[in-house]
Amino acid sequence: MRGPSCRGLLCLVALASFTESLAAGQRCPHKLKESVNPPRGWAKHSIPPAEHNIVLRIALPQPNFGVLEKHLYEVSDPYHPRYGAHLSKEEVDGLVAPHQESIDAVDEWLMSYDIKETDFVRSPAKDWVTLTLPVRLVEEMLNTTYHVWKHEGSGDSIVRTTSYSLPENLHEHIDLVQPTTMFGQFKEMKSTIVWSDDTEAPSQSKNVASIHNPATGVPVDASCNKTITIKCLQQLYNAVGFTPTQLSKNTIGITGYLEEFANLQDLQSFYAEQRPDALNSSFEFISVKGGLNNQTLSEAGAEANLDVQFAFGLSHPIAGTFYSTAGRPPFKPDVGTPTNTNEPYADWLDFVLSHPNTPLTVSTSYGDHEQTVPESYARRTCASFAQLGARGVSLMFSSGDGGVGDNDANPATQTCFTNDGRNATRFIPLFPASCPFVTSVGGTQNVPEIAVSRFFSGGGFSDYFPRPWYQDKVVEKYLKALPKGTYEGLFNPAGRGIPDVAAQGDRFRIWLRGVPRSIGGTSASAPTFAGIVALLNDVRLSHGQPPLGFLNPLLYSKAVSGFNDITIGHNSGCGTTGFNCTEGWDPVTGLGTPNFGKLKKLVL
């Protein structure tokens, strides 16, 4: 076991072992690890109780992640000989495992505070350590001071610090520690629900006028310009009459957070109206970190119901799974031991990465402003999504509903400002949609389709992640066509472009708390696209081929002609009209919306 060295400094006493030095009260000096400016809108409120518990997550380095990334791109590239040769859980764990010396160094550091191995949990690859500690001890370990911070707009409160330090010898063995500097407001990506008293089912029959859809040639019921149903999506995306057959192999999952519960009674009402052949079918419920399954009708969640009803309704009879992940920021200042205030998708990732079998298609309709998530944490979380992609999982994330920022017309409440202390105006992309290892889904409306306009499809360019190779051709074409100087300084033209694709995202008819409601947002677009991906997986599986896995290298190459190009619309935000839709890829609707009839041939 290698004892830690105080890099650049001489320890005062030569010690036989690190453990003995700790017993003697000697520790290497702390050195600043990370420091941030508090995001706009957050202000110090109070001091948390000394015994307030923090669920601390420590990330150890993944020295072979570059090798994993190489595998990921090879098995995801339809023109590579290894296409579809996804890795096993064990193979992925081996590629992200830290060096033993990092494990030893972190263990010894924890032991110096009387924290035993039985007091913490390791991830399967041993690249994360999770433990619960009182804030007074965390402050000592990280040489920092935590405060209760309050958000001026929402009133939310969280326990955070703006900087933390680690013993100098540990900097090479620890990538990050959270929650420390993260001020994100993890939220669902949906626009305001339309609370209509009209409960009459939309009329869709042979007697109703239809609209010619030039993108596919398939007629679409005229009612789809007022209300989106499963039948509308099947018509719009050329999937009418397709029935999945690979039911023992294919799966689709929805992630639920922030105490959003998918109600079974509402699902049956939805099926009775829009998918009668699915009546009396259900989904598998999985609790993550104590996530609840409250089936009281009055507790049904609009987001959870929307995601489940349309993803599972569109992909029926493919087996569905709903994950309920516990943890709901914010912290309540008058409670000593609140629920976990970490970003809950980290807990979901821990869970699914520890299991060998995960749904082949997963949709998530939640996210944060990218700049409120520390870059170190965003990169590590993105790396976890890469692990799932390498294992053959397709991940969809909503691109957001605020256009290029927050779509707030009031300058006093806009969040389109940098967090670097300059408060400079800046477009604000969303994370995890900005991660290059997931598929980001924007929103459309109407027949023929245009970019959604009641809210605005999230899109733009990441400030954290550089443009991935699979986007080079289409994004460069888009940027070259922009008039010189357009939004100069407001976005990063070298960043990963958002979104990748789009789907309908407004006027979705769901059942909520016993009655039909109309709802919109890219939180409708992501599960819709996920439903199409599940059908495409069925096509591949029925031909004896592996599932699609990480989609983007395929979408931007062999499958690019399988999308309906959206050329009308824009995504306002930050006091601007945002970017415009145009021929080919654009940072509003990506490559466009899916044409299942074409894609089912292109994916083989």
Binding site, by residue number, is 565-566, 584, 586
Among residues 252, 362, 365, the alpha carbon closest in space to that of 302 is found at 365
Among residues 344, 348, 346, the alpha carbon closest in space to that of 359 is found at 348
User: Backbone phi, then psi, for 31, in 5-degree steps?
Assistant: -135, 140
Among residues 360, 335, 376, the alpha carbon closest in space to that of 465 is found at 376
The reply to whether omega before 179 is within 30° of 0 (cis) is yes
What's the rounded Cα separation, in Å, for the pair 579 and 588? 7
Task: Locate 421 and state its tokens.
Answer: 């202390």
Length of the chain as a residue count: 604
User: Backbone phi, then psi, for 389, in 5-degree steps?
Assistant: -60, -40
Q: Coil, helix or strand for 274? A: helix
Binding residue numbers for Ca(2+):
565-566, 584, 586
Among residues 116, 163, 167, 120, the alpha carbon closest in space to that of 144 is found at 163
What's the rounded Cα separation, in Å, for the pair 109 and 568? 57
Task: Locate 463 and state its tokens.
Answer: 């400030």
What's the rounded Cα separation, in Å, for the pair 318 and 67? 33
Task: Locate 315 and state its tokens.
Answer: 């992909």
Instruction: Please say whether the beta carbons of 140 and 30 come within 8 A.
Output: no
* Burial bucket for residue 400 (CB in 10 Å: 0-12, 13-18, 19+): buried
What's the rounded Cα separation, in Å, for the pair 508 and 505? 7
Q: What are the residue numbers of the active site?
A: 303, 307, 523
